[in-house]
Amino acid sequence: MHEIEKVFADFLVERRKQGLYRELTRVRRPDARTLEQSGKTYINFASNDSLGLSFHPEVVARAQEWAGRYGAGAGASRLVTGNLELFAQIEDKIAAFKGFEAALVMASGFQANASVLPALFDRDVLGAEPIVFADRLNHASMHIGSAAAGITQSRFKHNDIPHLESLCQRAHFKQVPKFILTESVFSMDGDLAPLDQLRETADMFGSFLMVDEAHATGILGPKGKGLADKADLVVGTFSKAMGSFGAYIACSNVVKEYLVNKCAGLIYATALPPSVLGAIDAALDLVPDMDGERARVARLAETFRAEVKALGYRTGLSRTHIVPVMTDAAEKALALCERLKDNGLWSVAIRPPTVPPNTARVRFAFTAAHTEGDIERLVTVLREHARKENA
């Protein structure tokens, strides 16, 4: 073992001691509701496939059709020969769906944030180092994108508009570009950003408002278009409620043109394959007409919240299809997950550094594939767990 590897091995030992060790688990997904692991079937409460579109026959069929017609891969980056004519069709649909002038398809949500932010924050282009105000609970990819740009964020307390305004006021005299970064739905808490107030604050202090819509696209807002129609730029993904893979930027024409010329994640990445583009295209056709599914998912989540709160569990500020059950200690989150697995239910323990210290939780994500019976079964196991914990 190389000397450097010994350092890594020590890190892993410490992670195990702290209950923070992670490992990849091999699973099989036979459908949108369940998964299989080591020969056992579980009801899946960890998936972000909110509308069950990953197994929708039209989504699968168009992915297969486009792979057959256009091949297995794009062959190059979009600025070489990978900009298949399919992209224009899809980007027009996204722009219309989101209500923006333009859209740009990217490889993934993480890659989009990690590469779009350095392009937006480029001090040589802007003429000065920008000030970036960021919600403390933003997704890691937004923090990583800022770090890649060499930016030290000015972080405001989660969803705390007065704190944000105080930071903006303090920096108001500085004649430099300013940005505000937030998510519309926070992926580990299931709560919503105060987007109207954020828009007002951005206008008051001349800031550019960027919103990550990963967990809102498809599942929230009129016709599933999300919640951030008042943002200056939106990042979203097709890998959650839209059922497949990839990401998009919704923005103005000038920002799109700028990103094509400046964003490393577009310039140097091989374009998405035709099969994925087919799945995206089909989902964009289906999602606007799925109000019934969206309402049903909301009802399932609300039923679960009410039931588990009555049992004494805390669900934070969740108002969406994402509902955390707070355990605080990582060991307790792991123990709850094991009890769920013993009863054929699959969820995941969310532990630091994904969430702040002492805020470990088990995260439940409800989908259109779940049934009322699934919720009853889940609540029954949590009731038994609470009884044994309090015995």
140: three-class secondary structure by DSSP? helix
Residue with tokens 């997904």: 29
**Interatomic CA distance for residues 298 and 245, integer angstroms:** 23
Of the candidates 56, 143, 178, 215, the residue annotated as catalytic is 215
Query: Does the annotation count 187 as an active-site position?
Result: yes
Contact 295, 313 (CB under 8 A): no
Query: Does the annotation count 281 as an active-site position?
Result: no
Of the candidates 56, 240, 256, 321, the residue annotated as catalytic is 240
248: three-class secondary structure by DSSP? strand
Query: Does the annotation count 183 as an active-site position?
Result: yes
> What's the helix, strand, coil split of the chain in %, to 5?
45, 15, 40
Query: Does the annotation count 223 as an active-site position?
Result: no
Of the candidates 139, 256, 370, 385, the residue annotated as catalytic is 139
Query: What are the DSSP calls for 204-222, one per residue?
Result: HHTPEEEEE-TTTTTTSSG
Query: Does the annotation count 139 as an active-site position?
Result: yes
Of the candidates 212, 213, 232, 293, the residue annotated as catalytic is 212
Contact 264, 118 (CB under 8 A): yes
Encode 191-227: b = buried (16+ Cβ within 10 Å), e = exposed. bbbebeebbebbeebebbbbbbbbbbbbbbbeebbbb
Of the candidates 49, 91, 165, 183, the residue annotated as catalytic is 183
Contact 277, 87 (CB under 8 A): yes
232: three-class secondary structure by DSSP? coil
**Interatomic CA distance for residues 331 and 51, integer angstroms:** 32
Give the CA dihedral 142, 143, 146, 147, nearest 10 degrees: -140
Of the candidates 44, 187, 239, 318, the residue annotated as catalytic is 187
**Cβ neighbour number for residue 299 with a 10 Å cutoff:** 13
Query: Does the annotation count 212 as an active-site position?
Result: yes
Sign of CA dihedral 192, 195, 198, 202: positive
Of the candidates 44, 47, 48, 239, the residue annotated as catalytic is 48
Contact 327, 361 (CB under 8 A): yes
**Active site amino acids:** 48, 139, 183, 187, 212, 215, 240
